[in-house]
Chain A
Amino acid sequence: MTSAPTTITSVAAAANHLASRRSPLRWVLLAVGLLAALSLPWLVYPPLAMDIAAWALFAIALDLLLGFTGLLSFGHAAFWGGSAYVTGLVAINVGVPFPVAILVGALFAMLLAVPIGFLSVRSSGIYFAMVTLAFAQMLYFFANQWRDVTGGENGLQGIPRNFFGIELIETDPFYFYYAGLPIVLLGMWAAWRIIHSPFGKVLVAIRDNPARASALGYDVQRYKVMAFVMSAGLAGTAGGLFSISHGFASLQELNWTTSGKVVLITVLGGIGTLWGGTIGAALVVMLEDWLATSGFEGIGIITGTVFVIVVLAFRRGIWGTVRDLKARFRSRT
């Protein structure tokens, strides 16, 4: 356990191994997590709290694929951003309550993930990362050109926040946070449920040894596509919520920098830890906000440096490192 892990999947496997021990602390952790989620808009500027929650769900969606299926998608902006646009369009044109709009957005992301997943799982490792990246960028170009619907470079403006007839006006992001939080928590619960289901165990088996999983009769490609689609659905949920929260959807949501940001958040939090994404999201979103408000130009210089340092020296991430220390401490006593 203490030897340096050499592959991303071995980092994830080590993280899972530690997680599989049932700790009495888990109820305490759950309570602390819920309390943190509920008190977040009291601690930080409320719209920022919503951003953190959305990015946390996005990172958890990615970890479902990266940490538990062993596939690094560098194109998850397609699902986050694709759903952001569809959610926005539905909210503007149909006028349904925003959770319904987000549901439509998430379904769109899943639908989109079927062909992309089908083509991408034919490759693995670094190839998979490049192929997903390229497909996501295809969607970006598409949205950029299809101005009549997406608004091109101006983005999609004026997305309303209809909540079952109650108008959650823009001046009240505080209340909107509590309207949106259940969706995030539901998404996180879904991710947790998937991982702890028999289906999730098959995914882990495929990650650790695809040849053996295949020999046991599991259709590896099909399972990978299914994991990809589920991950896309959760990423879409997060993206839809993000666009409702901001009141607009921009091309930025579809750009590869967004795919990169969620990978950074996941790796910083800890690959294969699932909940690490919440901490990673809080840190990265608040860091970027702090840099932006302090007028620093070139946020990429800082986030890029963080990325380089994490990859060079801190590959287990925050959650993974804490777990590691805890396990070491326990084995000593």
Chain B
Amino acid sequence: MNEILQYTVQGLAAGSFYALAALGLAVIFGVLGVVNFAHGACYMLGAVVSALLLQNFGLGFWPALVVVPLIMFVFGILLERLLVRFLVALDPLYNFLLTFGLSLVLVDLIKRQYGVSGLPYTRPEILSGQVTVGDVRLPTFQLFVFAFSLVVCVLVWLLLTKTRIGMIVRASTERPELTRALGVDVGRWVTPVFGFGIALAGLAGVLAAPFRAITADMGSNFVIILFAVVVIGGLGSVLGAVVAGFLVGLVEAFGQAYAPTFAQVVIFVVMALVILVKPSGLFGREESR
């Protein structure tokens, strides 16, 4: 029983990174129809930038939670303006290939600059301890990551469903022509939404910085698992991305505990089952596949 609680918290913490990044992926796909292969690289950049800010400016974890997503937002905007924009009107596969090439460049640039061994990062004092629940000791940091990302996911969801901006974004996603006819400048929202999606990947990176080894390759497997997450949740479904993100985190944690050899294979088995039963994903609409 104690073990189960431990693995659950561990899984939810791991799932937090997937949920946040997959949310960014889903938002970008919703508005631009682009699957961003460089999302894993952006997650890695988030962590690397946090480490560099700490190393060079002494900027700690808490300010990094705000500063790094802002930096990544600007980076995302540049990316959209300079590259992605030119291919949006074409087959979405072209942007998939473009961002694939881009992620090769980003990963090897970081590798060339900072080597293959990890960058150091110190965990903030307040998060290093453990919380005792009954007779189970749970790492504070895992609880914090889960709570924080859950709050962010809920905020994004509120932003999308309850605000005027969210309404416009959703309308542009579902009926771009009609939205345009109603006098909304759809194109104006494309760039900030892309930047926002990248910022979410960056935020996942900041959260991972004190938790995982910060290397150029940290996003390489991450992005593949992320694809499995959005396939399970349903591409373009915001709720699906978050739920599947946490689900995959749990599968990973329990897999590592009870079948360590095949922990990562289990995720793809789950994906295969979902494809068999519901090809459009758990929360996907039929038309979105």
Of A17-25, A128-136, A164-172, A199-207, the one contacting chain B is A128-136
Are B96 and A129 within 8 A (Cβ)? Answer: yes
Residue of B nearest to A137 (CB): B224
Q: What are 8 A-to-B residue pairs whose CB atoms are below 8 Å?
A: A126-B35, A145-B261, A301-B104, A304-B102, A305-B101, A306-B101, A307-B104, A311-B97
Among B109, B269, B279, contact of A298 (Cβ-Cβ < 8 Å): B109
What chain B residues lie within 8 Å of A7 (beta carbons)? 90-91
- Say yes or no: is A209 at the interface (Cβ < 8 Å to chain B): no
Cβ of A119: which chain B residues have Cβ within 8 Å of it? 272, 275-276
Q: Is A33 an interface residue (CB 8 A)?
A: no
A141 lies within 8 A of B265 (CB): yes
Report the bound CA distance from A229 to B223 in whole Å.
26
Distance of A182 from chain B, by nearest CB (Å)? 33
Q: Give me 6 other A-B pairs in contact (C-beta within 8 A), A301-B108, A304-B106 excluded.
A: A7-B91, A119-B276, A127-B231, A300-B107, A301-B109, A312-B83
CB pair A122–B97 under 8 Å, yes or no, is no
* Given A72-B93, A312-B86: A134 in contact with B104 (beta carbons within 8 A): no
Give bound CA distance, A297 to B108, whole Å: 8
Asked whether B289 is an interface residue with its Cβ less than 8 Å from the other chain, the reply is: yes
Q: Residues 74-110 of chain B: 1 if any A CB is under 8 Å from the residue's CB, otherwise 0?
A: 0000000001001101111110111011111111110
* Closest CB in chain A relative to B65 CB, distance in Å: 30
Q: Does A315 contact B (CB under 8 A)?
A: yes
Ranked 4 nearest A-B pairs via Cβ:
A307-B101, A304-B104, A300-B108, A304-B105
Bound complex: CA A134 to CA B279 (Å): 15
List A contacts of B98 (CB < 8 A): 307-308, 311-312
Tell me the count of chain B residues lying within 8 A, CB to CB, of chain A: 45
Please report the C-alpha to C-alpha distance between residue A217 and residue B58 in the assembled complex, in whole angstroms: 68
Chain B residues with CB under 8 Å of chain A are 35, 83, 86-87, 89-94, 96-98, 100-109, 111-112, 220-221, 224, 227-228, 230-231, 235, 261-262, 264-265, 268-269, 271-272, 275-276, 279, 289
Instruction: Name the CB-closest residue of B to A138.
Output: B268
Partner of A311, one of B101, B103, B107: B101
* Chain B residues with CB under 8 A of A297: 108, 111-112
A157 on interface, CB distance cutoff 8 Å:
no
Min Cβ gap B190→A in Å is: 18
**Does A260 count as interface, using CB distance less than 8 angstroms?**
yes
Residues on the A chain within 8 Å of B90, using CB: 6-7
Residues of chain B with a CB closer than 8 A to A8's CB: 91, 93-94
The CA-CA distance from A311 to B34 in the complex, in Å, is 14
Q: How far is the CA of A183 from the CA of B269 in the complex (A)?
A: 35
Interface bracket on A: 35 or more
| Contact between B231 and A130, CB atoms less than 8 A apart | yes
Q: Which residues of B contact A146 (CB under 8 A)?
A: 261
Shortest Cβ distance from residue B215 to the other chain A in the assembled complex, whole angstroms: 14
Q: Report Cα–Cα, A298/B276, bound state, in Å.
A: 40
Which residues of B sit under 8 angstroms from A126, Cβ to Cβ?
A: 35, 92-93, 96, 235
A8 to chain B, nearest CB (A): 5
Assess whether A130 is in contact with B230, with CB atoms less than 8 Å apart.
yes
Task: Tell whether A258 is near chain B: CB-to-CB under 8 Å.
Answer: no
Nearest B-chain residue to A147, judged by Cβ: B261
> Nearest-CB distance from A206 to chain B (Å)?
17
Q: Does A163 contact B (CB under 8 A)?
A: no
Distance in Å from the Cβ of B81 to the closest Cβ of chain A? 14
B83 touches A308 (CB 8 A): yes
Verify B97–A307 contact, CB threshold 8 A: yes
A304 engages B103 (CB within 8 Å): yes
Q: Does A321 reach chain B (CB closer than 8 Å)?
A: no
* A9 vs B92: C-alpha distance when bound (angstroms): 12
Closest Cβ–Cβ distance, residue A267 to chain B (whole Å): 7
The proximity string for A residues 80-94 relative to B, scoring 1 for CB distances below 8 Å and 0 otherwise, is 000000000000000
Question: How far apart sit A151 and B125, CA to CA, in the bound complex (Å)?
Answer: 41
The verdict on A299 contacting chain B, using a C-beta distance below 8 Å, is yes
Find out whether the CB atom of B262 lies under 8 angstroms from the CB atom of A145. yes
Q: Are A300 and B231 in contact (CB under 8 A)?
A: no
Contact of A123 (CB < 8 Å), options: B94, B220, B289: B289
Judged by a CB distance under 8 angstroms, whether A142 is at the interface is yes
Tell me whether A14 is interfacial, beta carbon within 8 Å: no
Chain B residue numbers with a CB within 8 Å of A141 are 262, 264-265, 268
* Closest chain B CB from A322 CB (angstroms): 21
Residues of A within 8 A of B112 (CB): 297-298, 301
Could you say which residues of chain A place their CB within 8 Å of the CB of B106?
Answer: 304
